[in-house]
A and B are shown apart, each in its own frame.
Chain A
Amino acid sequence: GEDVEQSLFLSVREGDSSVINCTYTDSSSTYLYWYKQEPGAGLQLLTYIFSNMDMKQDQRLTVLLNKKDKHLSLRIADTQTGDSAIYFCAEDGGGADGLTFGKGTHLIIQP
């Protein structure tokens, strides 16, 4: 079946760049997403990339997609304390079961 893998934790210093990585198995993925979840809250769509693109930039966020290796990354420039959250990678294979999520990466910001 489809699978999405992420590292569980990432610790960075405030002001540095954060790079969160994700691998997936479904080669028929149409969209790939990054969601942010703060404690007790729902999922906030951060950004997404269509599968025929290899890069997307949106202010401090840069998404890179290597479709050959099925690898997706999210770079957050100038990481701030407000970026502290769990970041979920998700892929949409276009099937009736919607998105398949990774287990999330906890981004920890050190002062």
Chain B
Amino acid sequence: DTGVSQDPRHKITKRGQNVTFRCDPISEHNRLYWYRQTLGQGPEFLTYFQNEAQLEKSRLLSDRFSAERPKGSFSTLEIQRTEQGDSAMYLCASGGVGEKLFFGSGTQLSVL
């Protein structure tokens, strides 16, 4: 595995539906981050895992959002009852302790 993988690349959904995204980090990276990027902005932090523990959540992460990393490897980000304002690129990044972060290609979400 040479990089961070995210699936799907694109997701189109109707308002009110639930969506789930997956991130597979680089093997043995214990740090995993989710970011959200909207048009014309830089990525904004959503949440952070160290191994399987979710250690930090942004105030941007409403109660409709939930993230898991059950075995300290892959992670999922679920958005319930999607709203049009959730449309964005969702980016995952991983890194070792004290090491630089590598990003995946992202999942582009469009809520109609």
Contact = CB atoms under 8 A, between A and B. Distances in A.
A2 to B, nearest CB: 10
A85 B108 CA distance: 18
Contacts of B73: none
Interface string B83-99: 00000010101000010
Nearest to A4: B42
Interface residues of A, number: 25
B106 interface: yes
Contacts of A31: 100
B48 A45 contact: no
A98 B93 contact: yes
B56 A97 contact: yes
B43 A96 contact: no
A101 interface: yes
B45 A97 contact: yes
Interface of B: 6, 31, 33, 35, 40-45, 48, 50, 55-56, 58, 89, 91, 93, 98, 100-106, 108
Interface of A: 4, 30-31, 33, 35, 40-45, 48, 88, 90, 92, 95-104
